[in-house]
């Protein structure tokens, strides 16, 4: 034993006498480490040794998914994989009693409705707080009745149902603690089902209806007094003609935030939305089959119900539904007394010009402080709305920030910004999101900066920013 | 000017080194804190078993970084798997919450997406299943193995370092 031994060496020498290092780490520590790993890794530990066989089942958070089929396997093999997973989850739920968060997310493939019912039944014995079920088409038949035991989920705070089934909701369904509900890809059997689901959530705060199917349904009533946030997303392009007459009533006195993305012919009836703070509206008349006047009426009715809002995101496509002045009386637009932030943006092609309806909107936003628009508004430079004739009063009294999301630096655009600078004394910041070719032309940018600054030297900060779609998306997300 | 000795706590590691640490640092060690509180008079020296001087060095590093608001800069990358496990045991013994979270996360990061063989090696686990038992469990939990047909030996071979 010549020479010095460092403390690490001593430690290693001692280590050699211990055969199984597992005894070094107590079970609690092992479970803690497992809780930091993805569920797939965790289940794999079951084959390490007999001592590990059931250790993973003591965890409380599980995320099982088969996001897509394996393309090198046959349909039957994929079906087997799915059944195998459902059986695995069933065994877990029967063995354990401490599952708190469970997510099962399987791509669209047939699942056995009985297996699903049995899973839900086993899950109801745990004190689940979060449950996500995103499952495919049921076999043998389309309909799936939510089992009554669903009412036993007393501690459930958050539920995500992505069941591509025709859903029958029992009349006594009740989720006493449910605060957040996401329903996607579901087809409701009838109007009663929808009502029963909503009235079974006495403390619901957030509701999302995503791509649901309403074939036999003409009216949905969302009357939830505790609701704070409502998101409705019906793919605007995937709408039957039969859906054109659908009505959605929203009666939610505590609603703070509303987001509606759907076909413009769906009629929203807002009732008593006195608490509303922000709204996001994208209504697209994709099919052009419904009379313009009806669409306009729907939009006016929705906007009127939102007239207390402080912040509004509205797409250019929505405004374009109102563009036909021979049919549409834009005086029917409500006045937004509290609106300080308005963002108009393009849902798809970012370069589409700002709707000519914008000047009419601006006349109804007396307190506007921040304005985002896709491109400059040509109507302000020529024609009846030319700024020589009429100027929205919010420019003179409150506008502080202007952002143009697609700026290429041509003469009209520069003139537009100059007009704003001249007529908006409180304007302190302008953000111009530029196309790449403009940003690359450093001299041109400097020249435009000079031209603009000469209007009111030093009074306004003018920024030339990268207009890439991703940046815009991030920006808009922050804005919301 | 002699500093007040009541602000420093003496900790003696397993390999006999004495560390004088600030009371605030000793407070993050719940085990040590319990010993101090249970003692009648001012305790002179607290022995900390299972903790070696190289562990204390790292603990002091972490403490200094977190006091400066830079705890994210603390890294255990240079430790090999055995050293990391030992350090985790030491920190677990001392019952230091924040550092424990950091170290368990570091271990989890090293195990993530690794094969069964790798995990066995990491913890030094012996496979005490019969081949039949192994095959049965493997089949039932097939989802976690991405449906590949893997024999036990193949698991061992797939050691991604």
B66, two tokens: 């977190």
The beta-strand segments (E) located in A255-363 are 257-263, 267-271, 278-284, 311-315, 341-345
* Residue A463, CB-side half-sphere exposure with 13 Å CA sphere: 12
Furthest CA-CA distance within chain A: 102
Closest Cβ opposite residue B129 in set A22, A24, A50: A50
> Quick one: three-class SS letters along A418-462?
HHHHHHCCCCCEEEEEECHHHHHCHHHHHHHHHHHHCCCCCCCEE
B123 vs A25: CB contact, 8 Å cut-off?
yes
CB contact A11 to B (< 8 Å): yes
B chain contacts of residue A71, beta-carbon cutoff 8 Å: none
B124 vs A21: CB contact, 8 Å cut-off?
yes
Cis peptide before A325 (omega within 30 of 0): no
A84 vs B105: CB contact, 8 Å cut-off?
no
Whole-angstrom Cα distance, residue A323 to residue B62? 63
- What length does chain A have? 480
Pairing relationship of beta strands A206-210 and A229-233 according to DSSP bridges: parallel
Closest Cβ opposite residue B141 in set A43, A50, A73: A43
B chain contacts of residue A21, beta-carbon cutoff 8 Å: 85, 123-125
A474: confidence class by pLDDT, cuts 50, 70, 90:
low
Quick check: A233 and A262 in contact, CB under 8 A?
A: yes
A26 vs B128: CB contact, 8 Å cut-off?
no
From the CA of A71, how many Å to the nearest CA of chain B?
Answer: 12
Return the residue of B nearest to A42 by Cα: B144
Whole-angstrom Cα distance, residue A318 to residue A325? 15
A7 vs B54: CB contact, 8 Å cut-off?
yes
Burial class (CB in 10 A: 0-12, 13-18, 19+), A446: exposed
Q: Which residues of A141-159 are buried (b: 16+ CB within 10 A; e: fewer)?
A: eeebbbbeebbbbeebbbb
CB contact A5 to B (< 8 Å): no
- Positive or negative torsion for Cα B96, B102, B107, B111: positive
Q: What angle do CA A424, A430, A436 make, to 5 degrees?
A: 145
**Which own/partner pairs from A195-200 qualify as long-range (CB within 8 Å, at least 24 positions apart)?**
A195/A221, A196/A169, A196/A170, A196/A171, A197/A169, A197/A173, A198/A222, A198/A223, A198/A224, A200/A151, A200/A169, A200/A172, A200/A173, A200/A174, A200/A175
pLDDT score, position A304: 96
A277 pLDDT more than 90 = yes
A140: confidence class by pLDDT, cuts 50, 70, 90:
low
Whole-angstrom Cα distance, residue B67 to residue A146? 53
Give per-residue pLDDT as tens, A82-112: 999 999 999 999 999 999 999 999 987 888 8
Return the residue of B nearest to A36 by Cα: B108
Q: How many CB atoms lie within 10 A of CB A209?
A: 22
From the CA of A10, how many Å to the nearest CA of chain B?
Answer: 9
Beta bridge partners of A167: A144, A188
The DSSP secondary-structure symbol of A45 reads G
Task: Report chain B residues touching chain A, CB-CB < 8 A.
Answer: 15, 52-54, 82-83, 85-86, 88-89, 92, 104-105, 107-108, 111-114, 116, 119-120, 123-129, 133-134, 137-138, 140-145, 147, 155
CB contact A40 to B (< 8 Å): yes
Least trusted range by pLDDT, from A65-69, A214-218, A310-314, B67-71: A214-218
Chain A segment 83-102 residues within 8 A of B by beta carbon are 84-85, 87-88, 91
pLDDT score, position A478: 52
Quick check: A279 and A257 in contact, CB under 8 A?
A: yes
B chain contacts of residue A44, beta-carbon cutoff 8 Å: 116, 119, 141, 144-145
B123 vs A53: CB contact, 8 Å cut-off?
no
Distances in whole angstroms, Cα of residue A144 to Cα of each of A64, A126, A174:
22, 22, 17
A384: confidence class by pLDDT, cuts 50, 70, 90:
low
B147 vs A81: CB contact, 8 Å cut-off?
yes
Least trusted range by pLDDT, from A14-18, A164-168, A265-269, A358-362: A14-18
pLDDT score, position B2: 36
A389: confidence class by pLDDT, cuts 50, 70, 90:
low
A chain contacts of residue B145, beta-carbon cutoff 8 Å: 44
Residue given tokens 């280590």 in the structure block = A15
| Sheet containing A219-223: order of strands | A219-223, A247-251, A267-271
Q: Is A344 helix (H, G, I), strand (E, B) or coil?
A: strand
A25 vs B129: CB contact, 8 Å cut-off?
no
Kind plus residue range of the DSSP H or E element containing B35: helix B30-38
Mean pLDDT computed over every residue of chain A: 86
Distances in whole angstroms, Cα of residue A236 to Cα of each of A208, A282, A388, A432:
16, 9, 38, 30
pLDDT score, position A171: 82
Pairing relationship of beta strands B18-22 and B8-13 according to DSSP bridges: antiparallel
Closest Cβ opposite residue A33 in set B15, B108, B155: B108
Return the residue of B nearest to A39 by Cα: B144
Give per-residue pLDDT as tens, A203-258: 999 999 998 877 778 899 999 999 999 999 987 665 555 555 789 999 999 999 99
A197 pLDDT more than 70 = yes
Furthest CA-CA distance within chain B: 73
Give per-residue pLDDT as tens, A432-471: 999 989 999 999 999 999 999 999 888 999 999 987 765 6
Interval A27-45 mean pLDDT: 94
Whole-angstrom Cα distance, residue A7 to residue A13? 10
pLDDT score, position B66: 92
pLDDT score, position A305: 96
A37 vs B108: CB contact, 8 Å cut-off?
yes
Closest Cβ opposite residue A25 in set B85, B137, B143: B85
Whole-angstrom Cα distance, residue A97 to residue A125? 7
From the CA of A18, how many Å to the nearest CA of chain B?
Answer: 10
pLDDT score, position A391: 80
B141 vs A32: CB contact, 8 Å cut-off?
no
A chain contacts of residue B148, beta-carbon cutoff 8 Å: none
Give per-residue pLDDT as tens, B4-46: 456 788 999 999 999 999 989 999 999 998 988 888 667 778 8
User: What is the Rg, in whole angstroms, of the alpha carbon atoms belonging to chain A?
Assistant: 29
Mean pLDDT by 10 residues, chain B (161 residues): 61 92 91 85 81 94 93 91 90 94 94 89 87 94 71 46 37
Beta bridge partners of A62: A102
B144 vs A38: CB contact, 8 Å cut-off?
no
* Neighbouring residues of B135: CB distance < 8 A, sequence distance ≥ 6: none
Q: Is A187 helix (H, G, I), strand (E, B) or coil?
A: strand
The DSSP secondary-structure symbol of A334 reads P
pLDDT score, position A18: 42
A291: confidence class by pLDDT, cuts 50, 70, 90:
confident
B chain contacts of residue A49, beta-carbon cutoff 8 Å: 120, 125-129
Least trusted range by pLDDT, from A1-15, A174-188, A203-217, B103-117: A1-15
Burial class (CB in 10 A: 0-12, 13-18, 19+), A326: exposed
The stretches of A267-367 forming alpha helices (DSSP H) are 292-305, 316-320, 358-362
B88 vs A25: CB contact, 8 Å cut-off?
yes
CB contact A29 to B (< 8 Å): yes
Residue given tokens 């994929």 in the structure block = A78
CB contact A329 to B (< 8 Å): no
What percent of chain A stands above pLDDT 70?
A: 88
| Packing angle, helices B53-67 and B97-111, rounded to 10 | 110
Choose from A5, A26, A48, A53 for mutation: most chain B CBs within 10 A: A48
* Neighbouring residues of A463: CB distance < 8 A, sequence distance ≥ 6: A429, A430, A431, A432
Residue among A132, A174, A179 nearest A153 (CA): A174
A390 pLDDT more than 90 = no
A88, two tokens: 């695995």
B43, two tokens: 């305790």
Whole-angstrom Cα distance, residue A90 to residue B20? 55
From the CA of A429, how many Å to the nearest CA of chain B?
Answer: 34
What percent of chain A stands above pLDDT 90?
A: 52
């Amino acid at each position: 034993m010549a020479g010095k031994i460092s403390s690490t060496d001593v430690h290693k020498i001692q280590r050699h006498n211990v055969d199984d290092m597992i005894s070094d780490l107590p079970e609690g520590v092992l479970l803690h480490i497992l809780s930091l790993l993805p569920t797939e890794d965790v289940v794999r530990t079951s084959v390490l040794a007999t001592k590990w066989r059931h250790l993973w089942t003591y965890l409380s958070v599980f995320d099982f998914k088969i996001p897509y089929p394996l393309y090198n396997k046959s349909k039957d093999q994929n079906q087997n994989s799915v059944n195998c997973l459902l059986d695995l989850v069933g065994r877990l739920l029967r063995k354990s009693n401490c599952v708190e968060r469970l997510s099962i997310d399987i791509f669209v493939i047939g699942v056995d409705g009985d297996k699903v019912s049995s899973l839900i039944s086993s899950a109801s014995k745990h004190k689940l707080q979060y449950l996500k079920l995103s499952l495919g088409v049921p076999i043998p038949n389309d309909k799936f009745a939510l089992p009554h035991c669903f009412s036993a989920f007393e501690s459930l705070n958050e539920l995500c149902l992505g069941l591509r089934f025709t859903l029958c909701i029992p009349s006594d369904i009740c989720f006493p603690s449910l605060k957040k509900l996401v329903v996607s890809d579901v087809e409701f059997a009838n109007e009663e089902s929808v009502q029963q689901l909503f009235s079974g959530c006495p403390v619901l705060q957030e509701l999302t209806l995503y791509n649901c199917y309403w074939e036999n349904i003409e009216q949905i009533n969302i009357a939830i007094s505790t609701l704070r946030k409502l998101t409705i997303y019906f793919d605007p392009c995937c709408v039957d003609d039969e859906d054109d007459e659908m009505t959605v009533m929203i009666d939610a006195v505590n609603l703070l935030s509303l987001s509606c993305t759907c076909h413009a012919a769906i009629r929203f009836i807002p009732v008593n939305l006195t608490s509303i703070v922000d709204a996001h509206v994208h209504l697209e008349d994709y099919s052009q089959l419904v009379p313009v006047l009806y669409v306009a009426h729907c939009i006016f009715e929705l906007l009127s119900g939102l007239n207390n809002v402080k912040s509004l995101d509205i797409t250019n496509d929505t405004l374009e539904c109102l563009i036909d002045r021979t049919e549409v009386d834009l005086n029917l637009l409500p006045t937004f007394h509290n609106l300080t932030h308005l963002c108009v943006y393009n849902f798809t092609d970012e370069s589409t010009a700002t709707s000519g309806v914008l000047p009419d909107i601006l006349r109804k936003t007396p307190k506007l402080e921040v304005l985002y628009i896709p491109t400059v508004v040509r109507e302000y430079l020529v024609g009846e709305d030319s700024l020589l004739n009429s100027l929205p009063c919010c420019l003179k009294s409150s506008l502080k920030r202007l952002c143009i999301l697609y700026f290429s630096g041509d003469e009209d655009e520069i003139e537009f910004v100059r007009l704003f600078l001249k007529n908006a004394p409180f304007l302190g910041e302008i953000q111009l999101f530029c196309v790449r070719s403009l940003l690359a032309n450093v001299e041109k940018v400097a020249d435009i900066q000079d031209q603009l600054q000469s209007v009111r030297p030093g009074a306004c900060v003018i920024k030339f920013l990268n207009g890439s779609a991703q940046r815009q998306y991030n920006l808009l997300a922050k804005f919301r | 000017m002699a500093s007040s000795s009541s602000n420093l706590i003496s900790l003696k590691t397993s390999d006999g080194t004495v560390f004088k640490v600030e009371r605030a640092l000793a407070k993050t060690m719940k085990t040590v804190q319990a010993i101090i509180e249970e003692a009648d008079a001012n305790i002179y020296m607290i022995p900390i078993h299972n903790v070696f001087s190289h562990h204390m060095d790292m603990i002091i590093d972490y403490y200094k970084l977190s006091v400066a608001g830079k705890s994210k800069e603390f890294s255990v990358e240079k430790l090999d798997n055995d050293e990391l496990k030992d350090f985790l045991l030491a920190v677990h013994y001392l019952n230091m919450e924040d550092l424990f979270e950091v170290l368990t996360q570091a271990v989890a990061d090293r195990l993530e997406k690794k094969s069964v063989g790798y995990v066995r090696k990491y913890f030094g686990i012996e496979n005490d299943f019969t081949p039949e038992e192994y095959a049965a469990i493997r089949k039932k939990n097939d989802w976690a193995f991405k449906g590949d047909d893997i024999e036990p030996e193949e698991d061992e071979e797939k050691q991604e370092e």
